[in-house]
């Protein structure tokens, strides 16, 4: 994979994670969902930082509309 493909993957990452939903059917303490949200937000931050470091400011601004939200984490009680 070359540098151009890497950049395209970075630009697509927010659009791929925004429609993502995570289901915890056991719905125990909620810890699974909390940890999942924490990791998704950390990954989101890493992508933002990398895009910014590569000078893709327009992509960083656009990514604000494709953020990971707690509403994407579901549990059955």
**Cα–Cα distance between 72 and 45 in angstroms, integer?**
17
Q: What pLDDT is stored for residue 35 in this prediction?
A: 92
- φ/ψ of residue 39, rounded to 5: -70, -40
H or E stretch at 7: helix 3-17
- φ/ψ of residue 23, rounded to 5: -115, 130
pTM of the entire predicted model = 0.68
pLDDT in tens, the chain (77 residues): 555 565 666 656 555 555 788 888 887 777 889 999 999 889 888 888 888 888 877 766 676 667 888 888 888 76
**Cα–Cα distance between 37 and 30 in angstroms, integer?**
11
């Amino acid at each position: 994979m070359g540098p151009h493909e890497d950049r395209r993957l970075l630009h697509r990452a927010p659009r791929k994670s925004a429609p993502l939903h995570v289901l915890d059917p056991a719905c125990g303490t909620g810890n699974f969902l909390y940890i999942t949200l924490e990791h998704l937000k950390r990954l989101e931050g890493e992508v933002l930082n990398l895009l910014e470091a590569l000078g893709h400011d327009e992509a960083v601004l656009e990514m604000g509309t494709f953020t990971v939200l707690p509403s994407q984490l579901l549990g059955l009680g």
